[in-house]
């Protein structure tokens, strides 16, 4: 068995320390001992430990436990998250309870049983490692939130986007599951973050998972965690992302990419509010607010062979539809102004205006990649444009005739385009521009290769 965990043993009895060291070094990676509690601060500051085994009495004839309680407080003052196991004599249960009230994790009694001591310390090591991993994930997410750039602001004054903002304001303070529907590039993840920031869970972080980027065989391990030895590469226990999101928000992006078999497992999780790590037979409670998002149309989402309807009803207590950019044209000037200022600051350039001719063309372009495409076009224009103002040719877009309504494209039938037709046209145009290069086409459209293949198959391209 691989040794895991670093233990510090503090006891005034040298015989106890020798016995503990001989026993524990066969089961843990590193065991340090000291009979001088006044050395605890130096030791903890110089080395990292998963758990401390602390005696409750040090002076000759002392059995009140006062000294142990004092040093327990000192340890937790130095390392607030430290797992401390106290050692008490038989009959010292009241003292052990007092120690646990002051922050000890567990206790053992003298003389200890070897199996009990090892088992208690192994649990302590796992607890410490889970705690560190959870704190790291939460810290990383908090840093992401604290450093959210102004680029992540919701910008717009159109009725379409105001309707979305109103729904966010109403739904965010509740704990209801929310499903966000919208095309790629419309800002679904941004909306999920806005919901979280306005929720009662905003102090506990948000963890985002792109289901389109997780392979099916890693789904359970990533979301639910795994036990050491559960599979070939499981060299240690690992906490799942759902557990790491405890108390906060869990955002599942591209939920429509989830295979039916895994949809069933997710439904079970949501019904029981428990996950079972891979390789374990013990379920773990989870406390999360779930937000999901998909670019799949409502028509597709309503088909049982694509998405389980019972899971859909679990996910969409509240359903938010994000409008594509072509349905909020009046917001384009605001978005242009914002992105130009943002990238001018980023690249240390002067803010330049957009010519009237260019603005007209930008306002009548269909924007198949939505806001993401607009942002990238502005960034490219700011880097490469040479004039004192931006012209239409500075933006890497396929423009349509100025006089042609946005909702119509010249066809033999001259009928308004459906969303399905617009999607097919966008795909065909992007594939043609990149001469069939799937990676470049997917990158331009802002979707994964898997999503692009699925859409190509749907439209028989």
Instruction: Encode pLDDT of 306-356 as tens digits.
Output: 889 999 999 999 999 999 999 999 999 999 999 999 999 999 999 999 999
- The pLDDT score that the predictor gives to residue 199 is 93
96 or 51: whose pLDDT is higher? Answer: 51
pLDDT above 70: residue 409: no
Instruction: Encode pLDDT of 123-132 as tens digits.
Output: 989 888 888 8
Query: Per-residue pLDDT averaged across 39-66, rounded?
Result: 86
Q: Taking Cα atoms as reference points, which of 123, 119, 87 lies closest to residue 104?
A: 87
17 or 461: whose pLDDT is higher? Answer: 17
Paired sense of beta strands 225-226 and 238-239, if any = antiparallel
Residue 36 and residue 20: Cα distance in Å, rounded? 16
Residue 365 and residue 379: Cα distance in Å, rounded? 17
- Of the options 1.10.8.60, 3.40.50.1000, 2.60.40.1120, 3.40.50.11690, the CATH number for the domain spanning 325-406: 1.10.8.60
If one looks up domain 6-135 in CATH, what number appears? Answer: 3.40.50.2300
- The pLDDT score that the predictor gives to residue 428 is 85
**Least confident interval from 300-304, 338-342, 372-376:** 300-304
Instruction: Encode pLDDT of 82-114 as tens digits.
Output: 999 998 875 577 888 888 889 999 998 888 889
- The pLDDT score that the predictor gives to residue 407 is 43
Query: Per-residue pLDDT averaged across 18-43, rounded?
Result: 92
Instruction: Encode pLDDT of 7-16 as tens digits.
Output: 999 998 888 8
Contact 50, 124 (CB under 8 A): yes
- Please state whether the peptide bond connecting residue 111 to the residue before it is cis, i.e. omega within 30 degrees of 0: yes
How would you label 78-93 residue by residue, b for 16+ Cβ within 10 Å and e otherwise? ebeebbbbbbbeeebe
Q: Taking Cα atoms as reference points, which of 146, 446, 371 lies closest to residue 379?
A: 371
pLDDT above 50: residue 404: no
- The pLDDT score that the predictor gives to residue 294 is 93
Instruction: Indicate the helix (H) or strand (E) that contains 92.
Output: none
Contact 7, 50 (CB under 8 A): yes
- The pLDDT score that the predictor gives to residue 73 is 92
- The pLDDT score that the predictor gives to residue 65 is 81
pLDDT above 90: residue 416: no
pLDDT above 80: residue 396: no
Paired sense of beta strands 106-110 and 83-89, if any = parallel
Instruction: Encode pLDDT of 222-281 as tens digits.
Output: 888 888 877 777 778 888 899 888 899 999 999 988 888 889 989 999 999 998 888 888
Task: Please identify, in words, the CATH class of the domain defined by 160-323.
Answer: alpha beta
pLDDT above 80: residue 172: yes
SS3 assignment, position 290: strand
Residue 92 and residue 181: Cα distance in Å, rounded? 60
If one looks up domain 418-461 in CATH, what number appears? Answer: 1.10.10
Query: Per-residue pLDDT averaged across 20-39, rounded?
Result: 91
151 or 301: whose pLDDT is higher? Answer: 301
- The pLDDT score that the predictor gives to residue 399 is 42
- The pLDDT score that the predictor gives to residue 148 is 47
132 or 405: whose pLDDT is higher? Answer: 132
- The pLDDT score that the predictor gives to residue 228 is 83
- The pLDDT score that the predictor gives to residue 67 is 87
155 or 448: whose pLDDT is higher? Answer: 155
Identical fold at 6-135 and 160-323? yes
Share the mean pLDDT of the chain.
Answer: 85
pLDDT above 70: residue 202: yes
- The pLDDT score that the predictor gives to residue 130 is 82
* Per-domain residue ranges of the chain: 6-135, 160-323, 325-406, 418-461
- pTM for this structure? 0.57
Instruction: Indicate the helix (H) or strand (E) that contains 108.
Output: strand 106-110
């Amino acid at each position: 068995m691989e040794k895991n965990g670093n233990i510090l043993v503090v006891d005034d009895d040298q015989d106890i320390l020798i016995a503990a060291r001989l026993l524990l070094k066969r089961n843990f990676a590193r065991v340090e001992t000291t009979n001088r509690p006044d050395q605890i601060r130096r030791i903890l500051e110089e080395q990292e430990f998963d758990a401390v085994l602390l005696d409750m009495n040090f002076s000759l004839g002392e059995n009140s436990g006062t000294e142990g309680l004092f040093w327990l407080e000192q340890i937790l003052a130095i390392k607030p998250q430290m797992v401390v196991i106290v050692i008490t004599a038989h009959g010292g249960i009241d003292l052990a309870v007092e120690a646990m009230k002051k922050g000890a994790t567990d206790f053992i009694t003298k003389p200890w049983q070897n199996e009990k001591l090892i088992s208690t310390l192994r649990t302590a090591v796992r607890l410490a490692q889970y705690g560190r991993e959870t704190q790291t994930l939460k810290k990383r997410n908090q840093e992401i939130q604290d450093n959210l750039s102004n680029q992540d602001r919701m910008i717009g004054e159109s009725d379409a986007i105001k309707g979305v903002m109103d729904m966010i304001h109403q739904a965010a303070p509740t704990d209801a599951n929310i499903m966000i529907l919208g095309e790629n590039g419309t800002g679904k993840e941004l909306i999920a973050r806005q919901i979280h920031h306005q929720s009662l869970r905003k102090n506990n972080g948000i963890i985002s998972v792109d289901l389109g980027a997780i392979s099916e065989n890693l789904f359970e391990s990533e979301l639910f965690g795994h036990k050491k030895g559960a599979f070939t590469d499981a060299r240690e226990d690992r906490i799942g992302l759902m557990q790491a999101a405890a108390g906060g928000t869990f955002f599942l992006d591209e939920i429509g990419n989830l295979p039916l078999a895994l949809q069933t497992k997710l439904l079970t999780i949501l019904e029981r509010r428990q996950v079972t790590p891979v390789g374990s037979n013990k379920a773990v409670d989870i406390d999360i607010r779930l937000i999901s998002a998909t670019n799949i149309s409502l028509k597709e989402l309503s088909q049982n062979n694509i998405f389980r309807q019972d899971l859909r009803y679990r996910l969409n207590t509240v359903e938010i539809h994000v409008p594509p950019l072509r349905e909020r044209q009046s917001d384009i000037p605001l978005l242009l102004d914002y992105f130009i200022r943002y990238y001018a600051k980023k690249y240390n350039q002067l803010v330049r205006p957009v010519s009237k001719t260019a603005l007209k063309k930008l306002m009548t372009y269909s924007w198949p990649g939505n806001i993401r495409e607009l942002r990238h076009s502005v960034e490219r224009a700011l880097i490469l444009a040479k004039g004192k103002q931006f012209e239409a040719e500075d933006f890497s877009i396929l423009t349509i005739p100025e006089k042609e309504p946005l909702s119509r494209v010249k066809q033999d039938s001259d009928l308004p385009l459906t969303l399905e037709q617009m999607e097919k046209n966008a795909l065909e145009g992007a594939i043609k521009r990149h001469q069939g290069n799937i990676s470049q086409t997917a990158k331009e459209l802002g979707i994964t290769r898997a999503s692009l293949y699925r859409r190509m198959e749907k439209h028989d391209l």
